[in-house]
Structure 1
Amino acid sequence: MKVLRAREWAFPIAPVRREVRRATPEVDEGKPPVLFVPGFGHGAWVFAEHWLEHTADRGFPAYAVSLRGHGDSAKAPKATLRAYAHDVAQVAASLPRRAVIVGHGAGALVAAHALARYPARAAVLLSPVFGGAGTALRNPMLSLPALFGGGLRLPAGQLFSRELPTSASRGYAARLGRASTRAQWQLLRGRAPQPPVGDPPVLVVGSPDDRIVSDTALRRVARGYGGAPLLFPGMGHDLMLDTRWREPIDAILDWLEKSA
């Protein structure tokens, strides 16, 4: 099983301070830790809002990392997808047991790249944005600013269902940041991740009503991992913050109890 590669030694990623939020069960049941990876512009707080404590209540140690340049992690204006994947692999390797990696949005692509170097117990790709022509966004206008060095546009109306109160959706959207310009370009180029090491089970989760990721793109990513997506109709792109946030996380944890 090849995890370390020559490039990692020849061109090491610079270390940074990383924000990691956590919630642990009252009793250690021996379940694998779950590491949540937010998408571009999002920080660990998006999982700390609901999913971390809920995951811990189900007996899974729960962690969420802010990629460099996101949340309260150190600034990194020139970060690459490789650097983001390095952050995920490093945090996962620091956990007490072999981890499950859950990546959201473009963080699902970052997680997929991390899986090529970290032998995860299992993985979940949530509303995955894999970029490139092969995974078209439902609304291409969102990506136009990134072509000119601006940030990927993530308005509240594109991220959440109409069930979420406007005050909440706008409040969440106001907390979003942006990924580095270089990482955005790499996302738009859409370099496919290498196969995961150790052949872990991979679940793809999303919504057919996601206004950022098309249903076709969601199913294409799932087929690439040998399965079909688990769908939650009526929910938005940011399932972990939407009104019905309990439904997807409970389904994910049910799957982990059977598969991981």
Structure 2
Amino acid sequence: MTTDRRPVVFVHGLWLHADSWDPWVELFREAGYDPRAPGWPGDSPTPEETRADPGRVAGFGIDAVVGHYAGLIRELDRPPILVGHSFGGLIVQRLLGENLGAAAVAVDPAPIKGVMYLPPSSLRVASIALRNPAHRKGAVALTRAQFRYGFGNALTEQESDELYERWAIPSPGRPLFEAAFANVSRSSPAKVDVRNATRGPLLLTLGGEDHTVAPAIVRTTARLYRKSPAVTELRQYPDRGHSLCIDSGWRVVADDVLAWLGARVP
């Protein structure tokens, strides 16, 4: 169906269901966009169904997820705005680098190839999958305590637990292995075309209290784009953690993204 509204595609990351974007989808629709939040390959329609059958998400890697979203994008009548969180932020950077989006927002994005240093907190979260080689082909779920450390550390325990119950799902372990070995793999699927001069504008955000994607990762990512004349901007939220797009402060981030898009995308 053709519409005058600019399409927006939201891409979730590991351990969150696509429905976690629902408040953003509603807000963007009210703002005049045509938003949608499709899940990763293997995701079931609801968090509950995904938890009940985790084997469906097992084994998918970064290339499979990029290909999944690229296929959906090619069905649209024009290039969409891409908004991704965590590993979804890596995915939208790859799609933007391949000129499949009009612009992209990467919210606390997972490290792309070229990010050499992973702070201890990020290694602690990644180790949930990496410590067991079998997870490369399997699905990995977080415990309530692991979610609290990785996502909800800047929240009250009550709010973190509520988010866990509402949105947390098992996810494939393969992307974590691919990102961990990106810098020793010539053909890593975590490689992004950071030199693309013709791509649309890119906004990167970081949470200063983020344990999963520590601030140093996003700052390094921003520096990797310095040789491209295309617009790359960084926005920082010093007191926010990895849950910044789903917790009670999500609207602050969403309003900033809408304002940025209004200034950068015709």
- The TM-score, its normalising length taken from structure 1, stands at 0.78
Letter matched to residue 115 of structure 1:
L
Q: CA deviation at 1:138?
A: 4.8
Q: Which has the higher helix share?
A: 2
Q: CA deviation at 1:228?
A: 4.4
Correspondence for 1:136: 118
Total equivalences in the alignment: 230
Contact 1:93/1:118 (8 A) holds in 2 = no
- Output the CA distance in 1 between the equivalents of 2:31 and 2:19: 19
Task: Give the 3 Å change call, closer, same or farther, for CA 136–119 of structure 1 in structure 2.
Answer: same
Letter matched to residue 116 of structure 2:
G
1:168-209 CA distance string (max 9 Å, x none): 321322342233233331122233223458411111012112
- What is the DSSP-based 3-state SS (H/G/I as helix, E as strand, rest coil) of the residue aligned with 2:20? helix
Q: CA deviation at 1:31?
A: 4.3
**Residue pairs, 1:1-260, within 5 angstroms:** 30-48=4-22, 50-72=23-45, 75-130=56-111, 134-139=116-121, 140-147=123-130, 148=132, 149-150=134-135, 151=140, 153=142, 154-160=146-152, 162-163=154-155, 165-174=156-165, 175-190=167-182, 191=188, 192-195=191-194, 198-226=198-226, 227-260=232-265
Correspondence for 1:11: none
Letter matched to residue 249 of structure 1:
A
- Output the CA distance in 2 between the equivalents of 1:245 and 1:233: 14
Contact 1:101/1:123 (8 A) holds in 2 = yes
1:105-142 CA distance string (max 9 Å, x none): 01111222223434310011110111676251451221
1:192-245 CA distance string (max 9 Å, x none): 223458411111012112122222111111222344420122222121212211
- Output the CA distance in 1 between the equivalents of 2:98 and 2:36: 19
- The TM-score, its normalising length taken from structure 2, stands at 0.77
- Output the CA distance in 2 between the equivalents of 1:102 and 1:180: 20
Q: CA deviation at 1:161?
A: 5.4
Q: CA RMSD in A?
A: 2.5
Consecutive unaligned residues of structure 1, counting only runs of 5 or more, are 1-27
Task: Give the 3 Å change call, closer, same or farther, for CA 31–39 of structure 1 in structure 2.
Answer: same
